[in-house]
Amino acid sequence: MRISFIGLGAMGYPMARHLSKAHEVVVWNRTAEKAARHAQEHGTRHALHLSECADAGTIITMLPTSKEVDEIVDQLLQDLKPGTLWIDATSGDPNVSRETAKRLEARGVRFVDAPVTGAVVGAENATLTIMMGGDAADVERAKEILQVCGKTLIHVGPTGAGHAIKVLTNTIMGATVWITSECLLVAKRFGIDMKTALEVTNAGSGRSNASENLLPMRLRDHQWPLVFKLLHHDKDIRIASQLAHQQHASTPMLALTQHLFSAALNELGPDADYIEVAKIVAKMNNSSWE
Ligand code: NDP
């Protein structure tokens, strides 16, 4: 099967590599050098022009937001063949996805939203969790293709449901990172060693992915790698906040989380890693993690 893969960023680059082992993969990236490198390293075909992506049976997008996805749809729409499956692995906006799906449907193109979780390491090791929205038959087609990229593939509901649950789970993670950072900071100010504070947290009821995996390397070992842009995390939480508004849900914690992350993004800038919000927690207390 021929697949066009659009967006070779931190996540897309390794995902396209896994797909190339099972399929003929054409890659396109805004910065063409990355696509040329991918072709050289993994035997994919570098599409010099986006239009070369139109006639594959499956098109996969892995872009920052639904806005960039829609721009690509706009450029390819007239050339798409009926029966094509468009899989959007971007952490997108479910409301936008539903409109995108309608536009594609008018050309006979099926749409599945299939955002992922598991970070860059999960993309590298093909252990991602992939949550999908769409018609059952389309999702089955998408599963067949994406199974080489992930370990857990779940059909969540109709179009947009994958994108909805993705931003909601990322919001849970964001709130957890923030509150865990606050409590560990209080422990530190009280004179408790960070190693001990984390050990107790992880042996007790405050345990989470944040305390077990995300925060120790930063707060205890002082390593702050860029693995997921705060810019993207903030975008996810803002979409979650819009969904809550749309559903007339009463969500003060969600709203607070959204404001905290937007403030952190304004302070740290678009190139910061998402866990660097812990630095803002420290700064708010005239403190640091050193
Ligand atoms: P990156 O910033 O690493 O890559 C973004 C990709 O989109 C690049 O290929 C970039 O091209 C391309 N791009 C950006 N703007 C445009 C544009 N206007 N037109 C065309 N292409 C464009 O992002 P990630 O791979 O980290 O994230 C991709 C998606 O996956 C996001 O929605 C993110 O929220 C989600 N995600 C990320 C995770 C992570 O840990 N990184 C984990 C789970 C989900 P170029 O090379 O030219 O810049």
167, 232, 273, best to mutate for ligand 1 pocket (most atoms within 8 Å of CB): 232
Task: Please state, in angstroms and rounded to a whole number, the distance separating the CA atoms of residues 183 and 42.
Answer: 45
5, 30, 129, best to mutate for ligand 1 pocket (most atoms within 8 Å of CB): 30
Q: What is the pLDDT of residues 89-131, one digit of tens each?
A: 999 999 999 999 999 999 999 999 999 999 999 999 999 999 9
Residue bearing tokens 């007339």: 248
CA-closest candidate to residue 2, choices 32, 45, 36: 45
Cβ count near 82 (within 10 Å): 8
pTM of the model: 0.95
Nearest ligand 1 atom, CA 232: 34
CA of 64 to the centre of ligand 1 (A): 4
Instruction: Say which CATH architecture domain 2-157 belongs to.
Output: 3-Layer(aba) Sandwich (3.40)
Name residue 162's amino acid. G
Q: What is the pLDDT of residues 244-265, one digit of tens each?
A: 999 999 999 999 999 999 999 9
CATH topology for the 164-284 domain: N-(1-d-carboxylethyl)-l-norvaline Dehydrogenase; domain 2 (1.10.1040)
Given a cut of 90, whether residue 198 has pLDDT beyond it is yes
What does the domain layout of the chain look like in residue ranges? 2-157, 164-284
Given a cut of 90, whether residue 138 has pLDDT beyond it is yes
Q: What is the pLDDT of residues 227-244, one digit of tens each?
A: 999 999 999 999 999 999
Residues 6+ apart with CB under 8 A from 106: none
Q: How confident is the model at residue 1 (pLDDT cuts 50, 70, 90)?
A: confident
CA of 68 to the centre of ligand 1 (A): 10
CA-closest candidate to residue 134, choices 110, 153, 166, 167: 110
H or E element in which residue 145 lies: helix 136-146
Name residue 26's amino acid. V
Q: What is the mean pLDDT of the chain?
A: 97
What's the pLDDT at 180?
98
Q: Is 29 in the pocket of ligand 1 (CB under 6 A)?
A: yes
Task: Please state, in angstroms and rounded to a whole number, the distance separating the CA atoms of residues 57 and 156.
Answer: 24
Q: Is 163 in the pocket of ligand 1 (CB under 6 A)?
A: no
> Considering just the CA atoms, what is the radius of gyration of the chain in Å?
20
Name residue 202's amino acid. N
